[in-house]
Structure 1
């Protein structure tokens, strides 16, 4: 085997592992990033937290080689808020409820979803209604999130294996079939009834099913008893629990020179290489085994610091681009939200669309208009049969629909989307309705319900 081939085979797993770490750090919101940094500090003795300057001179810090190592990891040059400015109050911080979607997101976080699968799963979960059904087609989700239909379909199958059984189904047949398969007990009669004879089952015409399947009536009755145990609305039992507070990753404030963007890195530790170990590595008296160990740890620490730096730089650049595109929104209000795609931001920043998707995943932006998930600002725009529609017009329609609803039975986001499609010929997804409703400070259907 040639030397080039051997080197390629040895380097490829290392490069893959490094790339995976970089992508994972890009996805993490602030609180999880801090946990990742603390874990790396515990596992790698070469890493240490950069303390405040002590006034030591360069001569006192050691050899020139050591200085070169340390200076490479000086504090980040990303814009920071002046020390005399206060951060926005958390009093109006967005509350994320642990409802069905929250429960599904938690399962995705602790399951074997990786990289892009997590991002696609997030889009899929956003299109699951309160009963647990997927209300948008995989083609619509693919068009919105930018991933291939095949990838969305594959991740949907994984989402459908989460709890509660039957979640993520597109219709009743698929919902019951998922629950049947989750039990892991084969029964041709049960499966056949679900796939072919639900219409007869709804009419309770068991004799017709028996005749069609050519099986005894008692066997059909037994199969039906099993099917009756399945939940046709698997998401309905997941109510809201205690709210958790979301910490913003980015602040947008009006300054003397217009809108300014700051990262919320107030309590994120600055990292550098441990001087003692670097000095030990440069010492010619250290044995080869120890030197190899320190060298590997230095490389790991160097890469980790570089990934953190790149994450912060990318997040700031993307946030700044969003603010540039949505300037009217930040200065005038939610009615001025304009269509914006991942591709628009990617083109301006000079990175790939998937990188924009990752760095905005599950991250929040604090603004004078309120706290918004960064994905809130992305929308391809809405169309009716007559052409493009303005955001403000659609939001006004949503407000009118809610104002005219029966408060004893408020409309869900899915029902509002249906009304917009049927009455106004506006093609709109449930996720977009929820986005606009929240921007209008209109509560969910449960929050709007008036008990009589």
Structure 2
């Protein structure tokens, strides 16, 4: 072994904090971006989210130019795509507020004809329900915590389980289903046995096995299965639980006017960011060096945030322009006319990197005449067609598979091989294994699982 010194030359990309922030903002969904901007507004006193008066706009532009000499930063100009006041009001402004599950249960408890201490215990139990509406705490733990008897604890749990929605307060899935059966007055020893012992077999549609085990005919087993499958595994459905706050805000609107499509960026996502006038004066005075340095740092941060947001906006706009050009038939005639389109094709067309396109479309939505569409869903790979010689979108093939299964005779469902043969006759060059893969991605069971008796 020997030691020595040598010089080597290599290229390496070092991402600065600013570059990392720009990449991070590009891939944020509209909701994530809203949260990020709100956080920045709280932490950066230089940022101002108040609307700017039209008479002061020109003055503000001049002020920014005067401040440029104090900082080192890139050209912050960007393309602006303004939204006209005459545009339709977004339907997303009228999304109704979700009702809290726990508040709904508490309202029912307050109306009960029970003593005060019973209601207090019930309210405590409600606070221990998880996001599914299940009681995840053991009876003994409640008893020990409140220093009450197990009998009283069980009595109060039964009160909770008598409330709406049906199945609330259950300890597990089986009890949740049993509560719903009881409240629907569908009590039957066989249906309880299926819930207790054969839920897994039921999930796989093994009605022949269940019928043999319970000494009933297959059709009867299927009828019991239909009843159980109509029940709800999560009693909290439809209520706000605090665990899931997901709603969709489109980043852009695609509108057709006089046979031309226009992209209108959704400027309502964020407030209009500007620089607070007070901090501009601090920069001009330069009396307090520490204060000036602090403001310079915060102003640099604010300006880069504004630039990153505008870069995100212009990148999404350019991607949508390219998609409109490639997928004109889709916007005109619908999903059946969606052409194969990959990230690489769009990236090469826009002279961008694939990762940039991927970030630009991540969790982004557009509002079209056909509803709200996830941009990522418009990207799909292709399978060659043996008939026309043109490539067929995977999404179209999946739709064809679903249509065939929807129309099949449920007593004799189509096998994957039969579906494969039918699609090949339509000119889609596809194998049985690929059919099975796409069927599973669509969440559709095999022919055995779809069979009705």
TM-score (norm 1): 0.52
Corresponding residue number in structure 2 for 1:376: 377
* Cα distance, 1:396 vs structure 2: 6.2
Corresponding residue number in structure 1 for 2:16: 16
* Cα distance, 1:331 vs structure 2: 0.9
**Quick one: distance in 2 between partners of 1:340 and 1:61?**
41
Distance 1:54 1:388, change over 3 A: closer
Corresponding residue number in structure 2 for 1:113: none
Corresponding residue number in structure 2 for 1:79: 81
**Quick one: distance in 1 between partners of 2:357 and 2:62?**
42
Match for residue 282 of structure 1 among 281, 284, 293: 284
* Cα distance, 1:55 vs structure 2: 2.2
* Cα distance, 1:275 vs structure 2: 2.1
Distance 1:267 1:430, change over 3 A: farther
**Quick one: distance in 2 between partners of 1:278 and 1:429?**
64
* Cα distance, 1:400 vs structure 2: 3.9
SS of alignment partner, residue 55 of structure 2: coil
Corresponding residue number in structure 2 for 1:402: 405
Residues 292-345 of structure 1: CA distance to partner in whole angstroms, max 9, x if unpaired? 222211111111111111000101111111111100110111111111111221
Distance 1:294 1:49, change over 3 A: same
* Cα distance, 1:41 vs structure 2: 0.9
**Quick one: distance in 1 between partners of 2:279 and 2:261?**
44
* Cα distance, 1:430 vs structure 2: 7.9
Corresponding residue number in structure 2 for 1:426: 430
* Cα distance, 1:285 vs structure 2: 1.2
Corresponding residue number in structure 2 for 1:262: 264
Q: Any unmatched runs of 5+ in structure 1? A: 1-11, 94-236, 438-442
**Quick one: distance in 2 between partners of 1:422 and 1:84?**
50
Q: Is 1:303 equivalent to 2:304 in the alignment? A: yes
Number of residues of Structure 1 aligned to a counterpart in Structure 2:
284
**Quick one: distance in 2 between partners of 1:343 and 1:290?**
48
Corresponding residue number in structure 1 for 2:27: 27
For 1:155-194, list aligned pairs within 5 A. none
Contact 2:251 2:269 in 1 (8 A): no
**Quick one: distance in 2 between partners of 1:265 and 1:300?**
22
**Quick one: distance in 1 between partners of 2:423 and 2:63?**
76
**Quick one: distance in 2 between partners of 1:399 and 1:92?**
33
Corresponding residue number in structure 1 for 2:392: 390
* Cα distance, 1:384 vs structure 2: 6.2
Corresponding residue number in structure 1 for 2:181: none
* Cα distance, 1:370 vs structure 2: 2.5
Query: If you compute each CA radius of gyration, which structure gives the higher value, 1 or 2?
Result: 2
SS of alignment partner, residue 426 of structure 1: coil
SS of alignment partner, residue 41 of structure 1: helix
Q: Any unmatched runs of 5+ in structure 2? A: 1-12, 96-231, 239-245
Corresponding residue number in structure 2 for 1:250: 252
